[in-house]
Amino acid sequence: QVQLVESGGGSVQAGGSLRVSCAAPLTSYTHYYMAWFRQAPGKEREGVASILSRGPTNYADSVKGRFTISQDNTKNTLYLQMNSLKPEDTARYYCAAARGYYTDDVPPLTANSYDWWGQGTQVTVSS
């Protein structure tokens, strides 16, 4: 069992930036992939960005060009840098991870592809 712990959420005005982090002790696994999901009240959980342990990334169309996912393997940490935030980005953001190797370079953005989840961190963007 892998415990994922998110941090860094908060409140920001539209157009601002935030970075959320996820402590993710996965270095014992050779291959893994990770992602950020979000869920707003009354809406389904949606994939925002994902990354393979070897580097390739994938983004939802709604955040392309504004959000950047990255990982620091020396710190066992996953990041999501969010710029040009919009009120519709308001949601609880969850970190997710799974073991596995993808032969293509498109890590999944579907929730059922992931085995481990954090408790989430709230991001609120005001207009």
- β-partners of residue 95 are 36
Phi and psi angles of residue 114, each rounded to the nearest 5 degrees, phi first: -115, 145
Phi and psi angles of residue 111, each rounded to the nearest 5 degrees, phi first: -60, -35
SS3 content of the chain, % helix, strand, coil (to 5): 5, 45, 50
**CA 7 from centre of chain:** 11
Over residues 114-122, the mean pLDDT reads 97
Nearest to 24 by CA among 123, 115, 107, 124: 115
**In which region does residue 100 sit, left (phi positive, over 0), alpha (psi from -120 to 50) or beta (all else)?**
left
- In which band, very low, low, confident or very high, does the pLDDT at 13 lie, cut at 50, 70 and 90? very high
- In which band, very low, low, confident or very high, does the pLDDT at 28 lie, cut at 50, 70 and 90? confident
Residues 45-82: tens digit of each pLDDT:
999 999 999 889 999 999 999 999 999 988 789 999 99
